[in-house]
């Protein structure tokens, strides 16, 4: 997992819960990195999982809800860092259905070692999209947060439902209806 995902995460934790919480979740995790991340480095996903687990235990907020809020923050990082990529799109359904064939393809050119999910488009119309998410990381709520913000970015809203295809969340169907 890319360092930028860690550095932005810890900044958000500091913002919302304070530096003490950052120290607490780092010191209660077993981290090969010792909790020192650079934006361009690459670190084990198990480090992110431990940080999320300890934050969840300390705040009583579920990992899914933490990932949702974190993704909503991460979207603003994307808006700042990759404005050109977003400017390619005029419509949220077009953008979300292009993650697999365009957006994450570009991301992989920038970060060849990025760990990205797979999105398969099942149904698509102008205002409706069904897409299956597959990833060993089960970060579907990170995807949900990015999708919410994608609609907001285009001054639009949608109802997005998740159906777990695999109980452990490694395969999830997103049913998206533009309002
Ligand atoms: C992961 C970039 C749009 C879904 C990532 C990562 C980056 C990235 C850098 C981390 C990879 C790693 O740490 O190894 C971008 C950029 C986007 C974009 C630049 C737009 C211009 C989206 C959108 C979605 C999405 C709209 C919504 C569905 C995900 C998910 C992950 C991810 C779910 C977590 C990894 C996983 O589940 O396996 N993306 N992304 N991305 N992205 Fe995107």
Q: What is the position in ligand 1's atom list of the atom closest to the CA of 78? A: 19
Which residue, judged by its Cα, is nearest atom 36 of ligand 1? 117
Fold of 66-178: H-NOX domain (3.90.1520)
Among positive and negative, which fits the CA dihedral 161, 165, 167, 172?
negative
Determine if ligand 1 sits within 6 Å of the CB of residue 135.
Answer: yes
| Span 36-49, average pLDDT | 95
Q: Assign 27 a pLDDT band (cuts: 50, 70, 90).
A: very high
pLDDT at 18 over 90: yes
Q: How does pLDDT run across 108-158, given as a tens digit for each residue?
A: 999 999 999 999 999 999 999 999 999 999 999 999 999 999 999 999 999
Instruction: Give domain limits for the chain.
Output: 3-61, 66-178
Determine if ligand 1 sits within 6 Å of the CB of residue 144.
Answer: no
Determine if ligand 1 sits within 6 Å of the CB of residue 96.
Answer: yes
Q: Helices (DSSP H) in the chain: which residue ranges?
A: 3-17, 19-27, 45-59, 63-81, 83-87, 92-96, 104-110, 140-153
Q: Give the ipTM.
A: 0.93
**Ligand 1 center–CA 92 separation, angstroms:** 15
Residue 40: per-residue pLDDT = 84
């Amino acid at each position: 997992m890319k360092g930028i995902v860690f550095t932005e995460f810890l900044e958000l934790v500091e913002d919302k819960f304070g530096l003490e919480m950052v120290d607490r979740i780092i010191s209660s995790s077993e981290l090969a990195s010792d909790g020192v991340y650079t934006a361009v480095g690459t670190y084990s996903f198990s480090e992110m999982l431990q940080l999320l687990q300890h934050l969840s235990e300390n705040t009583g907020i579920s990992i899914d809800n933490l990932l949702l809020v974190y993704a909503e923050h991460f979207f603003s990082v994307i808006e700042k860092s990759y404005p050109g990529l977003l400017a390619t799109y005029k419509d949220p359904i077009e953008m979300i259905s292009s993650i697999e064939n365009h957006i994450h393809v570009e991301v992989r050119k920038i970060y060849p070692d990025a760990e990205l999910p797979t999105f398969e488009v099942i149904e698509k119309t102008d205002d409706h999209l069904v897409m299956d998410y597959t990833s060993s990381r089960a970060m579907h709520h990170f995807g949900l947060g990015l999708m919410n913000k994608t609609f907001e970015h285009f001054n639009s809203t949608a109802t997005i439902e998740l159906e777990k295809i695999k109980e452990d969340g490694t395969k999830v169907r997103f049913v998206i209806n533009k309002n």
